[in-house]
Structure 1
C-alpha cells in the first residue's frame, strides 16, 4: 500500500496491526506507540478476555483508542499497511497458511516473528500459495526477529563476507528462559515442567514446529552461500531438573524437563555443511552447563575462518530486540515489490537514532 496520503502529499505514518498480544506482541505495540512514523490501527488477541480491551492498556500504556479484537474479519476490514504477526509458533505451518494468505490478500504486508524467514523451505506448494496471496494484495511477506531472523541466519551470512572457500557454518544458541514471562512458550511450546513421559508424548508436534522454524534458517544460509542442501538431519535431547526451579513463567518441579538441545545438520555432497544447535534451559543458574552457557557462538570455516561469540548479556532485552528488528523492517517491507521477501532480497535494515 502507498505510504503517502492522497490528500496530504507529505508522508504519513505506517499503519500497523499487531496480531497476538503476548509478551512479544505487547512489546511491539509499545514500539509502535513510541515511533512518530507509525500508527497502531488494530490489534488481534487470542484470549477472549482481551477482546474489547484497549491495546494501549494491554501493553501497559495509557489508552490509545484501539480496541483489541478476536474477530479475523475486523482485522481484514482495516485499512493498514502492515500486520506484525507474533503468534506462538505453529505446530503445523500449513495449518495457518489460510490465515496468513487471507491477511496478505486483504492488502496488508505481513512481518512474522516466528518463521517465514525462508518459506521456500516448505516446498513449492507452500511458497506458491504465499506468492499468489501477495500478488492479490499487492504486498509482501517477511520473517524477522532474533532467532530465527537474525542470529541463526542473517549473522552467519554477514560473517561469510569475510571468508572464501567456506566449508562449514556452525551456529549455537543457548537461551535461559528463567525470566521469560510466557507460560504458553515455556511450558506449552518448549515443554518445560512436564514429566519425561508427558514430554516424549508431546514431542512429535513440537518436532514438527521446530523443524519448520529452523530448517528455514538452514535453507536461507545455504541459498545465500550458493549451495543446495540434499537433506537436513534433526536430533533432540533433554535433561531433567535436579531441584525445584522457580522461573517467571511458572514453577519447574524437580524431575521434570528443564533443558533441551536441538541439532539441525544440513548435508551436501554427503557431509554436514551447516549446523544449527538450539539449546533451551529453564534456569541457567541452577541447571548443568553440559551444553554451554547462555549466548551465541557462530563460526564460519573457510579462508580465513571467522568466529563470533556473545555471552548471555549480548543484548539487554531479547524480546525488545526482536520487536525492534521487526519494526525497523516495516518501511523496507512496505516498499518492497509484492511477494516473499527474505533477508536476501531486502536492503540492509537499520535502526533509528534518537537525537
Structure 2
C-alpha cells in the first residue's frame, strides 16, 4: 500500500526528520481564560514515507490504547522507519481529567458527533466536544494519512479484540482499509455497514473519516483496567498496519484464522439491579443462551439476558449495578 509522503506539522509540533517532537493542538478556551490543549507527539522517521495517526481517549476513561501508544513511542525510539507517526494519547482531555467517558463541560459522547462543528455552526447548547472534534478533524484532513482510532470497554466492560472499518463505497479506499484490517492480527474483523452505523453508532470517527476519504480503522480490545495482553494486541496491530503501509519491514505475529463479523446486536438491561455476567468475551454463543442475569439486592433473579442469535460475545459488561436501559452485551453475528 502506498500513500502520499510529505513532512507534516500538527499544532505546535513541527516535523523534523529523525526526531521526536512534542507539541499541542489548542482546541478551546475555558471560562478562566486558560487554553485547553490536546497533547501530540510526532515520531518522525529517518526516511520519508506515509503518515499514520494513532488516536486514543475520544472517551476519557479508556486507557488500553493510551498504554499502547506509550509502548509504541518506546518501541520506535530509534526512529528507524519511514514516514511519521502522529500520537494523540488523549483526545478528550476534559473527560480524561474527570476520569469519565464524556466531558463534564457538555456531557456529549464525543464518538457520536464527528466531524464536529466550528463555533459558528455548533448545534448543542454546550458545544465543547463539537469544537474539539472539529479542530482535530481539521488537523487530520490537512495532513492526510491513515488513522487508527483506539477504544476499549472502559471501566465497565471488556471487549474482544476486533478491528472495524467502514467501506463507505467500493474502490481503492475500501480496499486499503480491508487489507489493513486483515493484517492486524485481531481475532475479529468487522466491515461495518452503513445501516448499522446509522441505527446504532452514528457520527463515529471511523465512519466520518472514511466518508471524508481518509482511510481509518477502529481498534477495540480489553477494558476494566489495563491488561498487558490487550495492550500487546493493540501494539501488534499498529506494527502490522505500519508494515502494510510500507513504513517498516517487520510484521508482528498473527492468528491462524480470523472471524468475520457482519452485524452486531446490543443487549440492554430490561430491569434495574445487579448484573452478573456469565459468558466471557470472544466466546461463541447460541440463540437462546443466557449471557448474564440481573438480580435484586438479595440475589433473586429479575431478568435473564439471553442471546437472540448465534454469534460471538464481543463486548461484555462486568459485574455491577445497572439501571434499566443500560448497555450490557454486544453480540457479533457471523458473515454469511
Same structural fold, with TM-score higher than 0.5 when normalized by the shorter chain: no
Structure scoring higher RCO (CA < 8 A, sep ≥ 6) equals: 1
Between Structure 1 and Structure 2, which shows a larger proportion of helix residues? 1
TM-score by length of 1: 0.31
TM-score, scaled relative to structure 2: 0.32
